[in-house]
Amino acid sequence: MKLCRFDDNRLGVVEGEFITDVTSAIQTLQLGPPQPGLGDPLIARLSDLQAAIRNGTFDRRIAVDAVKLLSPVAAPTKLVCAPVNYLDHQAEGFADPAIHHNRHVAKIREVALFLKATSALIGPGEPIRLRHLDRRNDHELELAVIIGKRADRIQAEQAFEHIAGYAIGLDMTLRGPEDRSFRKSIDTYAVLGPWLVTADEIEEPNLDMMLRVNGELRQSANTRDLVVHIPQLIEWASSYYTLHPGDVLYTGTPSGVGPVVPGDVIEAYIEKIGTMTVAVTAA
């Protein structure tokens, strides 16, 4: 199932070029007031939500092109990110001083994972609003994994049971010497979309991915070339902190990262998920 959030916080199921508005299915879950520490309430109840959608009747259908797509996850507690998780991106980082700034490009096992602020999260219907235009702002195309079940110190073998689904992530990045969590947490610098594809639709997440800027191909790769794969990333992250439903894991970017400027249009594609188009403006 492809689940999206759109317009004024509506919930939709995407089929082809159309969205069915299934917002009323949420009522059947009888969600109480939000409780701290439990993560995103809708993602936490995803299988119940899917059952309510399958059993419900919904009349309103809208063209995908006619809505504003929001982040498919409303309230993650963390955006967990893997740095330099493709060897070809590590190589380009070492080769380009604009990217590595002396010490940021190291082997992922040495640098470990970092966090982006959740306040940076947007969907593809909202523009990326660039700041610090005198410096380089780069796109990073990444497969995003959405956690479905509380994961505390779990083993890699159990990791897939904890995944709700997948989406396309853009880990937008201001280049420079500051800590990653600072440069990558600018408002709008975490794009997630165009929808959440539930894990049952992607048994083996070895997926082709591509990113174009103004039609020009910049990144093209397959997630099978990750250095640290998804189960190991989940084991590693959850050995430090509990992953909650709705938490997002940005799995890292392949080579081809490059600058964007206001007026650019980013088109990002991942196999079995889809394509999203995101506008770039100045803040």
Contact predicate 245/147, CB 8 Å: yes
What minimum distance in Å lies between the beta carbon of 66 and Mn ion?
31
The only residue of 253, 260, 268, 280 in contact with Mn ion, by rule CB under 5 A: 253
The residue (of 180 and 272) whose beta carbon lies closer to Mn ion is: 180
For residue 276, with 0-12 CB atoms within 10 Å meaning exposed, 13-18 middle and 19 or more buried, which class applies? buried
Contact predicate 76/118, CB 8 Å: yes
- Alpha-carbon span 171 to 276, nearest angstrom: 14
The residue (of 6 and 250) whose beta carbon lies closer to Mn ion is: 250
From residue 54 to residue 93, what is the string marking binding to Mn ion with x (rule CB under 5 A)? Answer: ----------------------------------------
The residue (of 149 and 183) whose beta carbon lies closer to Mn ion is: 183
Number of residues that bind Mn ion (CB under 5 A): 3
Query: Which residue sits closest to Mn ion, CB atoms considered?
Result: 171
What minimum distance in Å lies between the beta carbon of 133 and Mn ion?
21
What minimum distance in Å lies between the beta carbon of 254 and Mn ion?
10
The stretch near Mn ion (CB under 5 A) out of 34-42, 70-78, 163-171, 206-214 is 163-171
Q: How many CA atoms lie within 13 A of 80 on its CB side?
A: 24
Residue with tokens 């969590």: 181
Q: What angle do CA 141, 144, 147 make, to 5 degrees?
A: 170
What minimum distance in Å lies between the beta carbon of 240 and Mn ion?
18
The residue (of 3 and 170) whose beta carbon lies closer to Mn ion is: 170
What minimum distance in Å lies between the beta carbon of 107 and Mn ion?
15
- Residue 105's nearest CA partner among 120, 86, 90 is 90
The residue (of 126 and 140) whose beta carbon lies closer to Mn ion is: 140
Q: Establish if 140 lies at the interface with Mn ion (CB under 5 A).
A: yes
The residue (of 21 and 171) whose beta carbon lies closer to Mn ion is: 171
What minimum distance in Å lies between the beta carbon of 172 and Mn ion?
9
Distance between first and last Cα of the chain: 34
Q: What are the start-end ranges of the E strands in the chain?
A: 2-6, 10-15, 18-21, 61-63, 69-70, 79-81, 114-116, 121-122, 128-130, 137-139, 141-147, 163-171, 173-174, 190-198, 208-213, 216-222, 248-250, 258-259, 265-270, 274-282
The only residue of 40, 92, 171, 267 in contact with Mn ion, by rule CB under 5 A: 171
Question: Footprint of Mn ion on this chain (CB under 5 A)?
Answer: 140, 171, 253
